[in-house]
Amino acid sequence: KNAKKYYPVTAGFFKRKVGDIKAVDDINLELFKGETFGLVGESGCGKSTLGKLILRLINPTSGNIIFNGNDITTFTGSKLRAVRRDLQMVFQDPIASLNSKMMVGHIVDEPIRNFAKENHKNLKDETQSLLVRVGLRKEDYYKYPHEFSGGQRQRIGIARALALHPKLIIADEPVSALDVSIQAQVLNLLKELQQDFNLTYLFIAHDLSVVKHMSDRIGVMYLGHIVEIAQKTDIYKEPLHPYTKSLISAIPNPDPFEKKERIILQGDVPNPQNPPSGCVFHTRCPVAMPICQEVKPIFKEVKPYRRVACHLYE
């Protein structure tokens, strides 16, 4: 709720504060139990920062993180540990996120050993069946991360995230480091697991094609702001925000007879330390109007279940 994350920027010998990088700027986002919410935007737009805020891996500059009706923003110590069990992350880079010196079995059951040892008498059996559940073998328990392919390593990361039976998993570009042929397998696995484990997913991606098959709803982020949220079918059929339109137009079209115009944006993403006035997208928006430079558009419901921040819809 109204979540902001500003990173201070310092300069010079005395590290004087010269400004803020507004990584996440006043975001209101609600996730519903059991859904997959696809969060899309160019790299650097604040998607990962928002994910880490929700998981309480970093603290917001202001605003609140509400989980299961509890404001967890100020939780510390044992209270924070308790909610952390329900909130897990699957990372983009399965190599960097797994400890290469640890046996796979111990990587996967580490969260249990840290959080809930007492309730798991048959930890090894449990861990081995979890490995089997994500498409690995029981014997893989004794191996080390370097003995696996990228896709298998991501399966290890997924098993680890599942170990404590969390409620919410934030998957931060979980397949973008993998070969295209492997991506679909991992996505299908995540889908199956969602059913079995009653999971809610926040699925982060940098383009709209990966989240298309996964998501129930989609949110589009630009420069620290969410500019549009909609049901999946609506957003692909009829994107409303000009930035969403450009992202949709970039998805390769499998049907060569259906003419589709590619919208190419001019210019680069502005520096988040000095974001544009008014609508943050106005410097690149193909349909910007004079008001867009002056007034920040309100993020509001323009149709049932659809929210957009754009003066075209006010």
18 contact, one of Mg ion, ligand SF4, none, CB 5-8 Å limit per kind: none
Token pair belonging to 193 = 């697991």
Residue span binding Mg ion (CB under 5 A) among the ranges 5-13, 43-51, 145-153, 281-289: 43-51
Extract the tokens encoding 100: 């290469």
Whether the CA torsion 153, 82, 195, 173 is positive or negative: it is negative
Find where tokens 């917001």 sit.
Answer: 60
* Given 174, 279, 299, 307, the residue binding ligand SF4 (CB under 6 A): 279
Cα(309)–Cα(299) distance, rounded to whole angstroms?
A: 4
The residues in 233-252 that bind ligand SF4, with binding defined as CB under 6 A, are 241-242
Question: Which option in ligand SF4, Mg ion, none does residue 132 bind, with CB closer than 5 to 8 A by kind?
Answer: none
Length reported for the chain: 314
- DSSP character at residue 118: G
Helix (H, G, I), strand (E, B) or coil at 11: strand
Smallest separation (angstroms) from ligand SF4 to the CB of 218: 17
Kindly give the pairing relationship between strand 306-309 and strand 168-172. unpaired
Q: How many residues bind Mg ion, per CB under 5 A?
A: 1
Nearest approach, Cβ of residue 209 and ligand SF4 (Å)? 22
Residues 6 or more apart from 55 whose CB is under 8 A from it? 84, 87, 88, 89, 170
Strand partners, 221: 226
Strand-strand pairing, 3-11 and 16-27? antiparallel
Shortest separation between residue 246's beta carbon and ligand SF4, angstroms:
10
Give yes or no for a contact between 29 and 225, defined as CB atoms under 8 angstroms apart: no
Structure tokens at 117: 């040892």
Phi, psi of 111 (to 5 degrees): -60, -35
Q: What residues between 78 and 137 interact with ligand SF4 by CB under 6 A?
A: none
CB of 207 to ligand SF4, least distance (A): 19
Residue 219 and residue 132: Cα distance in Å, rounded? Answer: 33
Residue 288 binding ligand SF4, by CB under 6 A? yes
Strands 66-67 and 70-71: antiparallel
Between residue 192 and residue 231, which ones bind ligand SF4 under the rule CB under 6 A?
A: none
Told to check if 285 binds ligand SF4 by CB under 6 A, we report: yes
Q: Does 312 bind ligand SF4 (CB under 6 A)?
A: yes
Could you say which of Mg ion, ligand SF4, none residue 48 binds, taking C-beta under 5 to 8 angstroms by partner kind?
A: Mg ion
Select from 102-110, 119-127, 230-238, 279-287 the region that touches ligand SF4 (CB under 6 A).
Answer: 279-287
Q: Among residues 83, 169, 223, 292, which is the contact residue for ligand SF4, using CB under 6 A?
A: 292
Closer CB to ligand SF4, residue 155 or residue 282?
282
- Pairing relation of β-strands 200-205 and 3-11? unpaired
From the list 145-153, 208-216, 254-262, 304-312, the region that binds ligand SF4 by CB under 6 A is 304-312
Residue from 48, 88, 128, 215 binding Mg ion (CB under 5 A):
48
Question: For binding to ligand SF4 (CB under 6 A), which residues are involved?
Answer: 241-242, 279, 281-282, 285, 287-289, 292, 297, 310-312
The residues binding Mg ion (CB under 5 A) are 48
